Structure 1
Amino acid sequence: MTGERLYPVLTFPDLDEALDFYAALGFRTTYRQLRPYASGVVQRDDMAIHLSGVDGYDPAASLGSAIVVVPDAGALYASFAAGLRERYGRLPSAGVPRLLRPRRKQGTTTGFTVVDTGGNWLRFYGTADVADGDAEDGDGATRSTGLARALEVAARQGDARGDEATALAVLERALVRHPDGAPEDRVRVLLYRAELLVRTGDPDAARAALDAATAVPLDAAQRAAVADDLAHGREVVGPA
């Protein structure tokens, strides 16, 4: 049978706050009601999400999650990031809501995550990545080593599972074990460490990790390779 459609129903403590958040992501509200219960629908292209407003609902206790496969995850992330910057004046990267940038994670495909105002996790993956089985432990995939491998392991814990403490421990061990790792990998590890420290509420340590990343000696090619990572790290940590 073809033509089936499946729509997630996600829970929020405040329906209008949720509608506003999804508007910043480029979704339009196609339905809203407050009685006899609060609910709404938002849609962007072929993506439609049903929202359920529940008084007293705690986003920190949410188990809501959805996997979304899209034609171009990178382009969608850029669009979401631009919308959130315009709405909030910054890129929300800690707490609820937040947007986690695309990263390759151990044992899964490259993708990014939106944690919305209800604490629901929307995990976005590109169609090509899913079709190609872009998993670092998959058949025919290139297995990373050293700092690059540690970064993927940490991203699985910190971005896919939300376990920042374990992710930080993975990165800290890797920095000790691989002092001679590729400079660009060291930069990326330090920058992810800075981001995780922002999420765990340690801005001073995050600033120190960012400073350490910017102090890594790089040649022109290496600096070009990590330019986006550095820009993201500076935005997440914020001004000194």
Structure 2
Amino acid sequence: MATNPTGKTIPIFPCRSIDEQVEFYQALGFELTYRQARPNVYACVRHRISELHFFVLKQLEPSASYSMCYVSVSDVDDVYREFRERLKKAYGKIPVKGFPRITKLNDLVEDRRFNLVDPAGNYLIIGQQHAVPKPIAGGPNEAERTTKFTVAYETAYKLTYSKEDQAQAARVLDLALGKSAEVSAPLRYKAFVLRADIAFSMDDLQLAKRYIGEAGRLPLSAEEREKASAAADRLEELKSSWA
């Protein structure tokens, strides 16, 4: 019989610099609870959502890191807002590329989540479980759910926002967009915005602007625009990146 866990799990992450790690997490609002210099360099930080420990691995390459953990919270929107505000105060802007970075907040089938990637490349997937499974934010409606274009869109969405595999997401979506399939205007609009988002994250600003333009030129009725409201919000965020 399944039971609720009563233990406590504390991730122990590698980093290249304890100073860099501690400064980053303190900027997010974590408290430094322990630090040692000998016999090995080690530090512990704590926030209301989690406790994290760090050790030094000098040969670590952040881009090659596989370290990650899932942090389950009951107020993901509040945590996301807090971390974005603190990152903007610390860095002068919200870091969305490179190391460190924070992704946008998204609804997936199982939860509402965002990813926080620290200077060492460690991933914190911070999410709040849905009471019941739900369609991904900005996803297709029931009538569109069985088409190949729909499958491609949902796959690219998950690769982008859950796996952060933008290169594969781009390949999947480009293949779908390159075909002249019958697709509803709201779903095509969402696909254009997603492709712009992928391009932006891959530093292909010219392509990002192209798809922002494609989305902006697509005629949508008031009802269709309402169906694509989440994508429209993301489009405005992308536009503001060049403001």
TM-score, structure 2 normalization? 0.79
Distance in 2, matches of 1:15 and 1:92, equals 20
**Aligned counterpart for 1:26 among listed residues 21, 25, 29:** 29
* Distance apart, 1:162 and its partner CA: 3.2
Percent of residue pairs bearing the same amino acid type: 27
3-state SS of 1:101 partner: coil
**Matches of residues 181-196 of structure 1 in structure 2 within 5 Å?**
181-196=183-198
**Matches of residues 150-169 of structure 1 in structure 2 within 5 Å?**
150-169=152-171
**Aligned counterpart for 1:232 among listed residues 210, 226, 237:** 237
Equivalent pair of 1:110/1:125 in contact (CA under 8 Å): yes
Aligned to 1:58: 61
Distance in 2, matches of 1:99 and 1:25, equals 11
**Matches of residues 115-130 of structure 1 in structure 2 within 5 Å?**
115-127=117-129, 129=130
Which one has a bigger Cα radius of gyration?
2
**Matches of residues 213-224 of structure 1 in structure 2 within 5 Å?**
213-220=215-222, 222=225
The change in CA–CA distance for 1:189 and 1:74 in structure 2 (over 3 A counts) is farther
Query: What amino acid is the match of 1:23?
Result: Q
The change in CA–CA distance for 1:84 and 1:220 in structure 2 (over 3 A counts) is farther
Distance in 1, matches of 2:143 and 2:80, equals 26
Moved more, 185-194 or 56-65: 185-194
Equivalent pair of 1:94/1:198 in contact (CA under 8 Å): no
TM-score, structure 1 normalization? 0.80
Q: Which runs of no fewer than 5 residues in structure 2 stay unpaired?
A: 137-141
Distance in 2, matches of 1:150 and 1:81, equals 30
Aligned to 2:42: 39
Query: What amino acid is the match of 2:72?
Result: V
Distance in 2, matches of 1:86 and 1:12, equals 23
Equivalent pair of 1:104/1:155 in contact (CA under 8 Å): no
Aligned to 2:72: 69
Distance in 2, matches of 1:166 and 1:203, equals 18
The change in CA–CA distance for 1:183 and 1:170 in structure 2 (over 3 A counts) is same
The change in CA–CA distance for 1:50 and 1:173 in structure 2 (over 3 A counts) is same
Q: Which runs of no fewer than 5 residues in structure 1 stay unpaired?
A: 137-141
Equivalent pair of 1:103/1:155 in contact (CA under 8 Å): no
RMSD: 2.9
Equivalent pair of 2:101/2:117 in contact (CA under 8 Å): yes
In the alignment of these two chains, the number of paired residues is 230
Distance in 2, matches of 1:75 and 1:206, equals 29
**Aligned counterpart for 1:12 among listed residues 11, 15, 25:** 15
* Distance apart, 1:184 and its partner CA: 3.8
Equivalent pair of 1:110/1:134 in contact (CA under 8 Å): no
Distance in 2, matches of 1:189 and 1:89, equals 31
Distance in 1, matches of 2:235 and 2:90, equals 23
The change in CA–CA distance for 1:118 and 1:2 in structure 2 (over 3 A counts) is same
Deviations 1:137-172 (A, max 9, x none): xxxxx7962565533211322333332221012222
Aligned to 1:210: 212
The change in CA–CA distance for 1:41 and 1:13 in structure 2 (over 3 A counts) is same
3-state SS of 1:78 partner: helix
